[in-house]
Amino acid sequence: MRIKEKLKQIKDRLKDPFNIEGLEEDFLELESLIKGTSKEELRMIYKDYEEIKKLFRRNVEILKRLYEVK
């Protein structure tokens, strides 16, 4: 299952908030994979996708705080 592998790859990269190189391309590829995936498969990967969203939000907050100008 290609989409499952892509989700795992993105999740592993998001564990490091400073590993942003190539992330945009990964999300674009994920978007195209999601468009071609059946509803059954989407239900199966929903939990992984939600974890990615949480990690991404966490990283944005970390970077936002780090680069906040005071």
Dump pLDDT digits (tens) for 21-49. Answer: 999 999 999 999 999 999 999 999 999 99
pLDDT-based confidence at residue 68 (cuts at 50, 70, 90): confident
User: How many domains are contained in the chain?
Assistant: 1
Whole-model pTM?
A: 0.83
Buried b (16+ CB within 10 A) or exposed e, 41-61: eeeebeebbeebeebbeebee
The per-residue pLDDT for 10 is: 95
Segments forming the whole domain that contains residue 36: 2-66
